[in-house]
Amino acid sequence: MVSDENDSPAIGRVCAELLQSRPRVINVGLAVFAIDLDAQDVDVVHVDWRPPAGGDEDLARLLSMLAD
């Protein structure tokens, strides 16, 4: 959330650095995006993540009450 004007210069520097340097990507979910980036010699780390309970909202709600 950008609400403090004092943060703007710092954020601007980060954005500029992002745009001027080679991208380093954390890919979450579908592996195919990571594979494509890797094929283009982009630094990429893949996180094997999927929605809890395969996206079933009822089961996910149940899990949220039962899980640690």
Partner 1 sequence: MVDTAALAPAIRRANSKALEILLQGDPVLIDVVPAKDLIPELKEHTILHAGPPIEWDRMCGPMRGAVAGVAVFEGWARDLDEAGVQASKGCFDFHPNHHFSAVGPMTGLTTCSQPLLVVENRAAGNRAYCTVNEGLGKVMRFGGNDESVRDRLAWIRDSLGPALGSALQCCGGIPLRPLVARGLTMGDEMHQRNVACSSLLLRELAPALASAVADHSDLSEMLAFMGSNDQFFLNIAMAMGKSIMDPVRNIEQSTVVTAMTRNGTDFGIRISGLGDEWFTAPVEMPAGLYFPGFSAADANPDMGDSTIVETIGLGGFAMAAAPAVAGFVGAGSVAEAAGITARMREITLGEHPEWTIVSENYQGVPTGIDIRLVVETGIVPTINTGIAHREPGIGQVGAGVVKAPMACFEKALRALGERLGIS
Residues that bind partner 1 (CB under 8 A): 50, 52-54, 56, 58-59, 62-63, 65-68
What phi and psi, each to the nearest 5 degrees, are found at residue 28? -115, 125
Q: How far is the CB of 43 from partner 1 (least distance, A)?
A: 24
Residue whose pair of structure tokens reads 């010699």 in the numeric block: 41
Q: How far is the CB of 60 from partner 1 (least distance, A)?
A: 8
Q: How far is the CB of 67 from partner 1 (least distance, A)?
A: 5
Distance CA 67, CA 57 (A): 15
Question: Tokens representing 1?
Answer: 């959330």
